[in-house]
Amino acid sequence: MPGNTFGRLFSVTTWGESHGPALGAVIDGCPPGITLTPEDIQKDLDRRRPGQPLSSQRSEADRVEILSGTFEGITTGTPISLIIYNRDTRSNDYAKIAQLYRPGHADRTYVQKFGIRDWRGGGRSSARETAARVAAGAIARRFLDQRGISVQAFTLSLAGIACRSFDPDEIGKNPLYCPDAAAALEMEERIKELRKEGDSAGGVVEIHARGCPPGLGEPVFDKLDARLAGAIMSIGAVKGVEIGEGFLAAAMLGSENNDPITSEGYESNHAGGILGGISTGMDIIVRAAVKPIPSISKPQRTVDALGQPAEIRVGGRHDVSAIPRIVPVCEAMTLLVLADFMLHPFPRAKTIR
């Protein structure tokens, strides 16, 4: 069944395999009248680009082209088609493991579901798929910019090393998108060690959305938090999502967790900006648990396509952690959710338009 379309009013359909000719996205429902150039999109795309110090060495140019939906640099309300041609694809890196199922990957589940899989670089299940999400998210960002809404994600922890301080200006200054410069250095060191050991690490990403009006979200099933949870969990490698206090709230008392109400808003924001599935007007706060990248060069037990036991060492040009590249992907999914809800009929003019 089709699972490659996201959003109901601001809708995105993505397509493309890791080692096919190209990948892309069609954005349908983007409001007309927004100035949009390839550079607007490229900016976000560059933030998830491999080739950065700590990331995979596959150096993809990743140039996005706009094929439709704009006229003289302005969106027209018709579908916007984006394409990114794949370059520097070394499928041969994968030929030797084509008949082996990589642990922690979707190799076997794709075969079980579809009876066939494109083994070149994971095909559709590759993290490369998220480039299309980031490109689409950049368009949502253009739209939300106009409405005064901004989204920023950052690295909260990596390989068990957690931020001890939060300096928003620091996020853009280190390659890990980490708001704590000291922690960022420790993380870098740990990544280098893990690369030598042939192992990998996970971490936690936190996402802040600022400027959202109250009233976004559609109870009882399409609540804002429900849609955010689904959106973030749809990113490969994410194994957990929480809003506001999240799992910590499970051990708090009601008198601790409730946010006292003031005439302007709330005295605190344990709720993470959402009550009853509807935005409160406070910052929306989401966290994503990211598992360690399953591609490791350490030997692992697996089976081949015939079910025979085998040992696998996953070589090739792999990142040690999905962080930091997953950070802009988390932003993109949040942007897409918010853009979608900003087009919903309610709330009306006073709060939104």
Nearer to a second copy, 92 or 263 (CB): 263
3 binds a second copy (CB under 8 A): yes
- Calpha distance 285→283 (Å, rounded): 6
- Asked whether 309 and 99 are in contact (CB, 8 A), the reply is no
Q: Given CA atoms 219, 220, 224, 225 in this order, what sign does their dihedral have? A: positive
Minimal CA–CA distance to 155: which of 144, 142, 167, 147?
167
Q: Which residues of 49-86 are buried (b: 16+ CB within 10 A; e: fewer)?
A: bbebebbbebebebebebeebbeeeebeeeebbbbbbb
Contact code string over 320-339 relative to a second copy, x by CB under 8 A:
--------------------
User: Cβ of residue 328: shortest distance to a second copy, in angstroms?
Assistant: 16
For residue 47, give the amino acid letter.
R
User: Cβ of residue 210: shortest distance to a second copy, in angstroms?
Assistant: 17
240 binds a second copy (CB under 8 A): yes
Q: According to CB under 8 A, which residues from 78 to 97 bind a second copy?
A: 78-81, 83
- Asked whether 82 and 134 are in contact (CB, 8 A), the reply is no
DSSP string, 109-178: HHHHHHS----GGGGGGSGGGHHHHHHHHHHHHHHHHHTT-EEEEEEEEETTEEPS---GGGGGGSTT--
Q: According to CB under 8 A, which residues from 32 to 71 bind a second copy?
A: 32-33, 65, 67-69, 71
Nearer to a second copy, 145 or 256 (CB): 256
251 binds a second copy (CB under 8 A): yes
Nearer to a second copy, 215 or 324 (CB): 215
Question: Could you identify the residue written with the tokens 């429900």?
Answer: 226
The alpha-carbon radius of gyration of the chain (Å, integer) is 21
Q: According to CB under 8 A, which residues from 253 to 312 bind a second copy?
A: 253-263, 267, 271-272, 275-281, 289-296, 298, 300-303, 307-309
User: Cβ of residue 148: shortest distance to a second copy, in angstroms?
Assistant: 17
Q: What is the dihedral of CA 225, 226, 228, 232, to 10 degrees?
A: 130
Quick one: which of 121, 123, 324, 328 contacts a second copy (CB under 8 A)?
Answer: 123
Nearer to a second copy, 116 or 169 (CB): 116
Nearer to a second copy, 173 or 219 (CB): 219
Q: According to CB under 8 A, which residues from 142 to 201 bind a second copy?
A: 157, 159-160, 194, 199-201
Nearer to a second copy, 20 or 51 (CB): 20
125 binds a second copy (CB under 8 A): yes
Quick one: which of 227, 324, 326, 327 contacts a second copy (CB under 8 A)?
Answer: 227
